[in-house]
Amino acid sequence: MIELEDVAYSYGGGELLSEISLKLQPGSFHFLTGPSGAGKTTLLKLCYGALVPTAGTLRLFDEDLRTLDRDGIALARRRIGVVHQDCQFLDHLPVADNIALPLTVSGRDTLDEVANLRELVGWVGLKDRADALPPELSGGERQRAALARAVIMSPDVILADEPTGNVDWDMSQRLMRLLIELNRMGKTVMIATHDLALIRAAKSHVQTRVLRISNRRLQLAGADL
């Protein structure tokens, strides 16, 4: 679904990532680890086409990223849901409207989709907070809203950048259960995190592949995780 072959990415004259090869197969579940500044966010941005490799080949759904025009990239991105680390929302809109923004922008805000929105808001545990404004939400509620917004278009791939970084352990477990459930529904999931305890807990519930960025390269993490 997403394939990187000998990909490198440089910024400001320095190489951040080098010789990255990775295939995200349908229904797979990956964790992406590495120290702060290793390039986890950069790799995720490459995977959804926000960045173009400075070397190598990147394919989104069998299409070379460099051959896609702006409309082609936009169509590919609709198949990829992204949970950003900073969880940006429009503060003047209620939570439900923020979650529905991808539907509105794509012209898919039909009655059927509105019904699906209500179901999704309930699924992430925000039914009673649907009319709240983003500044009124707790950190965990914001993360669940961000996850709901990422999957509202029913993407094939979900990329999450430190989705549990600003919440307590109980909430991080709840968010992880939601992501595992999405994977069981057939979604491909990749989560960037530095929380090794979270990875260990998840591995008892879902078959995962743990990757680590070290010295600009991607490697399979050891069995000690």
Considering the chain, what is the average pLDDT of its residues? 89
> With 60 as the cut, is the pLDDT of residue 19 above it?
yes
Q: d(Cα 195, Cα 104) in Å, to the nearest integer? A: 35
Q: d(Cα 152, Cα 20) in Å, to the nearest integer? A: 30
Q: Are 5 and 23 in contact (CB under 8 A)?
A: no
> With 70 as the cut, is the pLDDT of residue 108 above it?
no
pLDDT at 139: 87
Asked whether residue 189 is assigned to any structural domain, the reply reads yes
Asked whether residue 40 is assigned to any structural domain, the reply reads yes
Residue 109 banded pLDDT, cuts 50, 70, 90: low
Global pTM? 0.91
Query: In CATH, what number is assigned to the domain containing residue 15?
Result: 3.40.50.300
Asked whether residue 91 is assigned to any structural domain, the reply reads no
Asked whether residue 179 is assigned to any structural domain, the reply reads yes
Domain of 32? Answer: 2-79+155-220
The whole-number average pLDDT for the span 2-29 is 92
Task: Give the count of beta carbons closer than 10 Å to the beta carbon of residue 14.
Answer: 7
pLDDT tens readout for residues 167-219: 888 888 888 888 999 999 999 999 999 888 889 888 888 999 999 999 999 98
Asked whether residue 85 is assigned to any structural domain, the reply reads no
Task: Give the count of beta carbons closer than 10 Å to the beta carbon of residue 97.
Answer: 16
Number of structural domains found in the chain: 1
pLDDT at 62: 92
Q: d(Cα 18, Cα 29) in Å, to the nearest integer? A: 23
> With 70 as the cut, is the pLDDT of residue 112 above it?
no
> With 60 as the cut, is the pLDDT of residue 34 above it?
yes
Three-state secondary structure string covering 143-171: HHHHHHHHHCCCCCEEEEECCCCCCCHHH
Task: Note the residue count of the chain.
Answer: 225
Partners of 64 in the β-ladder: 59
pLDDT tens readout for residues 50-81: 999 999 999 999 999 999 998 999 889 889 99
Q: What is the bridge-based pairing of β-strands 55-60 and 63-64?
A: antiparallel
Of 158, 5, 24, nearest to 78 by C-alpha is 158
pLDDT at 130: 92
pLDDT at 225: 47
> Three-state DSSP class for 67?
helix
> With 80 as the cut, is the pLDDT of residue 114 above it?
no
Asked whether residue 75 is assigned to any structural domain, the reply reads yes
Asked whether residue 110 is assigned to any structural domain, the reply reads no
pLDDT at 111: 57
pLDDT tens readout for residues 126-179: 999 999 999 999 988 998 999 999 999 889 999 999 888 778 888 888 888 889
Asked whether residue 200 is assigned to any structural domain, the reply reads yes
Of 2, 33, 47, nearest to 213 by C-alpha is 33
Which residues 6+ apart lie within 8 Å of 152 measured at CB? 81, 99, 100, 102, 103, 116, 117, 120
C-alpha separations of 147 from 40, 83, 129, 179, 198 in Å: 19, 6, 15, 9, 17
